[in-house]
A = this chain, B = another copy of it.
Amino acid sequence: MTEAEHRSLERLEVRQRQLRRGAVLVRENEGAGELYVLKRGMLMSYVLLDDGSRQILRFHFPGDMLAVSGLVYRRSPETVVALTDTVVCPFDRAEMTGIVTEHPRLAAIIMAVNQMERVALTDRLAALGRTSAKGRVAALLLEIRNRMRVLDKGIDGTFTLGLTQEEIGDATGLTAVHVNRMLRQLEDDGLLSREAGRVTFLNEGALARMANYTDRFSGIDLSWLPAAR
């Protein structure tokens, strides 16, 4: 990126807000208006259904933009909550106007990132619609580990999940009880081991196969991006 592009993005990060684990950043159905860049920590967004059940839609990692639906909807379609202590940088959606106008290439990059997020969502949709409980849990573990590894190259087969089994269930469309059983099965099958919240992959290939997991990080091609202004 050019100097000017960097300066423009940094303008989104002048303010900072700290959140404790469990703090709500945006609440479903409440007025949106502000967007955020995630600086440090991990969050999730979810919706609540009429019967009180919860579907976790996405996990957020540093570098992600949060509450982007505020660009379109007057009220947020989803709740965003901190899973760890986090630092976010709020900015007004009017800032977006400036970026798009002055830096077409940044606009294009944002569109590209949107597509990647969309594909990640469709992968999860296929998992919920067409794979077994065991496969879904495996897919979630792989996805989160891979997501963490993008930012921390040191992570390999062992990592700290940082989710309760109830949260895993709400992300995969399962019950906490059944998540527990699936984790035990994966362990009994010799595919992973667990201790004190840390997960170790023992047979990543087999996990990926049973999860129908597709790596989307390779195969990216951004050659169409416009030149920097």
How far is the CB of A107 from the nearest CB of chain B, in Å?
4
Chain A at the B interface: mostly helix, strand, loop or mixed? Answer: helix
Q: Which of A67-75, A152-160, A191-199 forms contacts with chain B? A: A67-75
A interface residues with partner B (beta carbon < 8 Å): 47, 49-50, 53-55, 57-58, 68-69, 71-75, 77-78, 93-94, 96-97, 100-101, 104-105, 107-108, 110-112, 114-119, 121-126, 128-131, 170, 172-173, 209, 212, 214, 216, 219-222, 224-226
Given A94-B224, A121-B125, 20 extra CB contacts under 8 A: A55-B126, A55-B129, A69-B118, A72-B112, A72-B116, A72-B119, A72-B221, A74-B221, A75-B219, A77-B216, A78-B122, A93-B224, A96-B224, A100-B107, A100-B108, A100-B226, A107-B111, A114-B118, A128-B128, A129-B173
Q: Can you give 22 contacting A-B residue pairs, CB < 8 Å?
A: A49-B126, A49-B131, A50-B212, A55-B125, A57-B122, A69-B119, A71-B111, A73-B119, A74-B219, A77-B122, A77-B123, A96-B108, A97-B226, A101-B104, A104-B104, A107-B111, A110-B111, A118-B121, A121-B125, A125-B128, A128-B129, A128-B173
